[in-house]
Amino acid sequence: MMSAQLSDNQTPLAVALSVRRLVEFLLRTGSIDSRFSGFDRANEGARIHRRLQRAAAKEHEDYKAEVALRQEYLCDSIAYTLEGRADGIFTREGIPVIEEIKSTTLPVPDITEDHAPEHWAQGQLYAAIYTLQNNLPQATVLLTYFQVDEELTVRFERTYTAEELDAIVHDLLHQYAPWARFAADWKQKSRSALQTLAFPFAGYRPGQRAMITEVYKICQDGGQLLCQAPTGIGKTMSVLFPALKAMGNGVEGPIFYLTARGTTRAAAESALALLRAGDTALSLRSVTLTAKDKICLCESRECTPDACPYANGYFDRIKDALWDALQDPSGALGAALLQEYARKHRVCPFEMGLDLSLWSDVIIGDYNYLFDPVVRLQRFFESRGDYLFLIDEAHNLPDRASEMHSATLEKTAFYQAKKDLGQGKSSLKTALSKVNSHFIEWRHRCEEEAAKPGAQFGQTIFETASDQTFDRLLSKLCEQLEIWLDEHREPDELHAELLQLYFDARSWLRVSETFDEHFVLQINSYGSKVRASMLCLDPSDFLAADFSLGRAAVLFSATLTPAAYYKDLCGLRQARAVALRSPFSQDHMTLLCAQNVSTRYRDREGSASTIVSYLAAMVRAHTGNYLAFFPSYAYMEKVYESFCTEHPNLTVCKQESTMNEEQRKAFLDQFVPHPAQSLLGFVVLGGVFGEGVDLTGDRLVGVAVIGPGLPQVNSRQEQLRDHFQKTRGSGFDYAYRFPGMNKVLQAAGRLIRTPEDRGVVLLFDDRFLSPDYLRLMPPHWSHLRTVYAEQDLEDALQAFWQEGTTDTPK
């Protein structure tokens, strides 16, 4: 049976589908087993593919790798577009051979010809497309397995006629038809409803219509937008609503709403709930991807069929679970609902959420689902799509991306692992000893560096190239760890320790493969401890590649100044940038700067008492809750102790260096509405209370920011400074001034959260009044005025609180 063609009078459902998604969805069986799949298996598989493809190209002159194939099929009145990439195609004795390559950790005896039907099916579908398009009578499917532990290649092959291949395709498409119709029906209902979707509020906040217009245009036309939108505009709704409207007007989607923190994911869920509540006919499915540890149904997470009943047989039950969850009338597949369906069908809720993402209009999750090369959603991002990326709190993205592309190892981990393996010799202990010895060599080099005249940062060395000798030792260690982990599968402390060491080592090797002029190798030694880090100084190229996978990206935050800096570091140098004015009345905030205070490191000892006096004056001027942000814990502790000594009758609280979620909540719970007496909280600038804290009304009436937030001068920041001085000519700005001022603006942004809020922002440091800092301040800070003494501050605050307006700017 040859492929049916579409006639002019047919209007079948149109379904685009990747070959891999089709065969894995229909044919994959068995269990989740993450013993070795937790680390970057996709990238490791890609490396193995390239290696085998290079070898095949030497053997076969006409070998072509990564051959893109695309073909339309008509089956059960559904117009399918199948597409994918064959790993390799060559000709042997006049017959085309389509090669499908798979890497595996299965023991060699378990790699049988029929152990994975989906692997054969993938090759068969590529062969079917290739024979149809080239009018060929037959083709051979070559299934090549590479056993990664033993580095052995196992091959199987079968030859099919074109008719046999076409029948296989149609059989699979027939099996998929109910799912295809369900998806197509949903899409038709969803997109039709989105066309008529109404804004869920009676009117727009100031600046909100402008933001919605900008976002809609970029989603519709494609491209990237950086939008600085101050608190109060309603950023979440202002990006989701126009993105959904764009999907209603022809953009395929889906929407990826990506955030740096869980609280902003909750804001996206709330915005979607408002849209659903305002339009009962709205067909809109969203899934919130929650970290595996938080959504796991087991007391301790171990994703193996022996340890987890939700992993055991997962692929045998998941289709029934998906079908059930997809019928849920709410369409809002958050963590609690995923757990409910997972318990019902005995499947992993985390993996179920990932599988449901393929059937969703909006996917809400952490940055790493797009930007982290290890955990990104490969099911979407193997190739470019019509995706819309909405990046919340985008000022966090450059630092988060740098972390994702960096790696750190410590000598202690390798020494301890060798010690915990106990007495006796083994290949694993030998490999651990060699890695440990290399750390010792690094320590000696650090000591020599520290002994040199003018050494600035003690026992620290930097290299502009990766250490290939160390990488080879680490690679050999990973081989031994894999053997040990395969032979010792009992879930005890030693197994967990060595498994983590294996993941950390593999992460290092992945980063090493990308090491170029954007990286630096840093070695620190302190006592017997040695830490090695490959630091990604500039993630812009990585981010540019990530953003290129979608149709449009909107990066939004209350603080994206200067725009050129964020466009540069996010790899979006041609992006459009807009800055919206605050919707709140300027009169509701008095903005003061204590010009006679220097918070430079050399001046901190002398300025502490002045800061104490100013803070006390601020707190006494009006009963309420206040936060004071300090550049370091040490400086905060010093001022805190002085404040408590000099003003024992004033109530204070202090951030601790380590606080869990409950302790952070308890800290913020002290900031009650309508307090009987003032409370002053001492916190660290850029810490957990510096952003994402929403103390509305009189729960917060004043914020003091001590210093311009410059990162501490250390070896890493100096490397950043040198890099950006060489590459941008703006080393100090990129490494210190811009990130510091962002922390200041975020901290000050804790104050005015609603149109009714009123309060004071008090800046400490004369540097705030220099042109380099004034140009980084938003338009609604144009009324900044200076105070030169405690009496000036008292007068200004008295006028503000009594009259309800700020003084005339000077």
One-character DSSP codes across 612-673: HHHHHHHHHHSSSEEEEEES-HHHHHHHHHHHHHH-TTSEEEE--SS--HHHHHHHHHTS-S
Per residue in 154-187, pLDDT (tens digit) is 999 999 999 999 999 999 999 999 999 998 889 9
Residue in 289, 305, 504 with CA at minimum distance from that of residue 412: 504
Quick one: pLDDT at residue 728? 95
Rounded distance between C-alpha atoms, residue 303 and residue 33, angstroms: 6
Sign of CA dihedral 330, 333, 339, 343: positive
Q: Phi first, then psi: what are they for 364, rounded to 5°?
A: -110, 130
Among 301, 304, 343, 336, which Cα is nearest to 321's?
343
Q: What are phi and psi of 435, to 5 degrees?
A: -65, -45
* 526: three-class secondary structure by DSSP: strand
Q: Cβ atoms within 10 A of the Cβ of 724, count?
A: 22
pLDDT confidence of residue 506: 92
Helices 235-248, 208-221: crossing angle, 10 deg rounding: 40
Neighbours of 283 (CB within 10 A): 18
As separate numbers, helices (DSSP H) first and strands (DSSP E) second, the chain gives 28, 25
Per-residue model confidence (pLDDT) at position 117: 94
User: Kindly report the CA angle at 177 between 171 and 180, in degrees rounded to 5?
Assistant: 135
Contact 374, 511 (CB under 8 A): no
Cβ-based neighbours of 634, under 8 Å, separated by 6 or more: none
The pTM (predicted TM-score) of the whole model is: 0.91
Residue written as token pair 């395969």: 486
**How many CB atoms sit inside 10 A of residue 281's CB?**
10
Q: DSSP letters along 732-782, please?
A: HIIIIIHHHHHHHHHHHTTS--STT--EEEEEE-GGGGSHHHHTTS-GGGT
The answer to whether the peptide bond before residue 107 is cis (omega within 30 degrees of 0) is: no
Phi, psi torsion values for 322, nearest 5 degrees: -65, -45
Convert the pLDDT of each residue in 476-508 to its tens digit.
999 999 889 878 877 788 988 998 999 999 999
Name the residue type at position 650.
L
Query: Three-state SS across 534-582?
Result: EEECCCHHHHHHHHCCCCEEEEEECCCCCHHHHHHHCCCCCCEEEECCC
Determine the Cα–Cα distance for residues 290 and 270; give it in Å rounded to an integer: 16
Whole-angstrom distance, CA of residue 553 vs CA of residue 222: 8
pLDDT beneath 50: ranges in the chain: 1-8, 36, 38-40, 805-810
Residue 510 backbone class (left: φ over 0; alpha: ψ -120 to 50; beta: rest):
alpha
Element (H, E) at 255: strand 255-259
Q: Cβ neighbours of residue 705 under 8 Å, at least 6 residues apart?
A: 629, 685, 744, 747, 748, 761, 762, 763, 764
Question: Which structure tokens are listed for 624?
Answer: 């309420």
CA distances from 83 to 42, 122, 175, 279, 808 (A): 19, 11, 18, 36, 66
pLDDT for 36: 47
- 138-147 and 95-104 strand pairing: parallel
| Residue 289 DSSP code | -
3-state DSSP call for residue 516?
coil
